Chains A and B, each alone.
Chain A
Amino acid sequence: MSYAAVHDDEHHDHKPTGIGRWLFSTNHKDIGTMYLVFALIMFFIGGAMAMVIRLELFQPGLQYVDPQFFNSMTTVHALVMIFGAVMPAGVGLANWMIPMMVGAPDMAMPRMNNMSFWILPFAFTLLLSTFFMQGGAPAGGWTMYPPLVLQLGDGLPFLIFAVHFLGLSSIMGAINIIATVFNMRAPGMTFMRLPLFVWTWIITAFLLIAAMPVLAGGVTMLLTDRFFGTAFFDAAGGGDPVMFQHVFWFFGHPEVYILVLPSFGIISQIIPTFARKPLFGYASMVYATASIAFLSFFVWAHHMFTVGMPLAGELFFMYATMAIAVPTGVKVFNWTATMWKGSMTFETPMLFSIGVLFMFTLGGFTGLMMGITPVDFQYHDTYFIVAHFHYVLVPGIVFGIVAGVYYWLPKWTGHMYDETLGKWHFWLSTISVNILFFPMHFLGLAGMPRRIPDYNTQFTDWNQIISIGGLAFGLSQLILVWVVIKCIRGGEKATDQVWEGAHGLEFTLPSPPPFHSFTTPPEVTDATAHS
């Protein structure tokens, strides 16, 4: 056990107060809360940028922003949502839940945990400050392809250092999770008794350690190309701009699974609870998750079929992409089988989980379509792609995170949330997210290109519907904020178990759990373990 954790445990009743509690916190629950609040703030900042995009696209022609600013909006919206909202939200849930799920008093390295979090606000200050610099904010797409990205003004080094810091934060967080799960499990908590959420996070942590340095290496090479006279990606100096795309997507595709696996873990906790049945095929879920992670390193070039690759390369990446559908299919089958003949109820976390199951699968299917090389030549850089990855990221991942928040909120606060408002949140979000993203398939198939502030008038109707859906989805999320605030302030007292069908060590603790949980490690048996 690390020094800081031991130190805190000895002052059981002492909870730090004031700003110091948050600035210097080594407590996994406080740090988890900070991650979640940070993610929510970034979600609304990124959402505001999406609203600017949708406002401009409400009508054909250029109305409100100039094209350069529009491109900055698409670029920074993506960076903020991926690195500022979804990843920190996942780490926040991991911080809150993993020590409680494995029976540990805290994370293995609480001080490093504090640093991992506090790097994030600095990194995003660097990134967002570029809006006030000569040349503006990054506008070449979140993929930062050279040579376009090298034309960015003063903001380029800020972008690159922000990415470095974000990577550092993620790697530190990943190391902490690995050390916690490997070294601090309670007696009897064997690996095959770990909750699926913990399993998905271990695998995600290994993905982070393998993938983030590759991104850091790529952007370091961009930095040296711009400022130190190298020519890694400069054809005039013997370099190859397409090589950056290979480097970026070698990080970028595992990154997709870094984002989605924790969401899979969350719904693997929730569905058995509300189906009142054990998770179907626990071991196959673990192996499927590991297989998805392993295969994710062999499919990167399906993002760049159109750059011109040898036929053998295109075939390899096409078949490898298809192969990922197998373990993913195993997971979808197992979630469905868990519900089969279950005694199901449909509280808000379950509704969001079923939403993930349906809508992530839809996003997965369009992913398979794009994995077919010749077909991808038609879809590439159209709104079909935008529809696909938003189905994966929003109803697939954000819904999963929201499901987790509703599921564990009573445990965190000691109060039940307002179920009626929760259901309103689910239904408004589900209807609006489909109005927002489903018509993008039609626009993409009809040929509307992505990342363009103007469009042919034939696309107007769907764009107007999409913009209305976007506004409705954004406003719907205010319900979540209200539900959380209301739940923190009071409400019906939550029991320790919270949900009738809930199992696991976290539900053996009081609601809310003490500031330092499991100071004495619990004994885990098959009865108390998830599996």
Chain B
Amino acid sequence: MSDNEQTAAEKKLAAKNMRVAIICGLVALAFYVGFIMFYM
């Protein structure tokens, strides 16, 4: 099934999931880089 066969609700949910993943991923990345920068 291609992306354009997803219903509007499914696309909305996928976008919400992706948003959570990006936010959490950025927080983790910020902690990682931040800790190293803090000690430099």
Whether B35 and A178, one on each chain, are in contact in the complex, defined by CB atoms closer than 8 angstroms, is: no
Whether B36 and A109, one on each chain, are in contact in the complex, defined by CB atoms closer than 8 angstroms, is: no
Q: Tally of A-B residue pairs with Cβ under 8 A?
A: 76
Whether A109 and B21, one on each chain, are in contact in the complex, defined by CB atoms closer than 8 angstroms, is: yes
Smallest Cβ-Cβ distance to A2: which chain B residue: B14
Pick the contact of A214: B1, B25, B35 (CB < 8 A).
Answer: B35
Point out the residues of chain A lying under 8 angstroms from B39, CB to CB: 221, 232, 243, 247
A250-279 contacts to B (CB < 8 Å): none
Whether B24 and A183, one on each chain, are in contact in the complex, defined by CB atoms closer than 8 angstroms, is: no
Roughly how many angstroms separate A221 CA and B36 CA in the complex, as a whole number? 7
Whether A112 and B14, one on each chain, are in contact in the complex, defined by CB atoms closer than 8 angstroms, is: no
Whether B1 and A213, one on each chain, are in contact in the complex, defined by CB atoms closer than 8 angstroms, is: no
Binding-face segment, A3-11, A71-79, A84-92, A94-102: A3-11
How many of chain B's residues touch chain A, expressed as a range?
20 to 34
Whether B13 and A1, one on each chain, are in contact in the complex, defined by CB atoms closer than 8 angstroms, is: yes
Roughly how many angstroms separate A183 CA and B11 CA in the complex, as a whole number? 13
A residues sitting closer than 8 Å to B (CB atoms) are 1-3, 6-7, 10, 108-109, 112, 171, 174-176, 178-179, 182-184, 209-210, 212-214, 216-218, 220-221, 232, 243, 247
Point out the residues of chain B lying under 8 angstroms from A175, CB to CB: 20-21, 24-25
**What is the predominant secondary structure among interface residues of chain A facing chain B?**
helix
Pick the contact of A184: B13, B21, B24 (CB < 8 A).
Answer: B13
Point out the residues of chain A lying under 8 angstroms from B36, CB to CB: 217, 220-221
Roughly how many angstroms separate A174 CA and B23 CA in the complex, as a whole number? 12
- A216 with B6, Cβ < 8 A, contacts A108-B17, A109-B21, A209-B27 known: no
Roughly how many angstroms separate A178 CA and B16 CA in the complex, as a whole number? 12
Shortest beta-carbon distance, B13 to chain A, in Å? Answer: 5
Whether A174 and B13, one on each chain, are in contact in the complex, defined by CB atoms closer than 8 angstroms, is: no
Whether A179 and B1, one on each chain, are in contact in the complex, defined by CB atoms closer than 8 angstroms, is: no
Point out the residues of chain A lying under 8 angstroms from B34, CB to CB: 217
Query: What are 20 contact pairs spanning A and B, CB under 8 A?
Result: A2-B13, A6-B6, A6-B10, A108-B17, A171-B24, A175-B20, A176-B21, A178-B20, A178-B24, A179-B16, A179-B24, A210-B31, A214-B31, A214-B35, A217-B33, A217-B36, A220-B36, A221-B36, A232-B39, A247-B39
Shortest beta-carbon distance, B19 to chain A, in Å? Answer: 9
Point out the residues of chain B lying under 8 angstroms from A7, CB to CB: 1
Smallest Cβ-Cβ distance to A216: which chain B residue: B32
Point out the residues of chain A lying under 8 angstroms from B30, CB to CB: 213
Point out the residues of chain B lying under 8 angstroms from A232, CB to CB: 39
Pick the contact of A3: B3, B16, B21, B31 (CB < 8 A).
Answer: B3
Pick the contact of B31: A109, A213, A220 (CB < 8 A).
Answer: A213
Pick the contact of A174: B16, B24, B29 (CB < 8 A).
Answer: B24
Whether A179 and B20, one on each chain, are in contact in the complex, defined by CB atoms closer than 8 angstroms, is: yes
Whether B20 and A212, one on each chain, are in contact in the complex, defined by CB atoms closer than 8 angstroms, is: no
Whether A213 and B29, one on each chain, are in contact in the complex, defined by CB atoms closer than 8 angstroms, is: yes
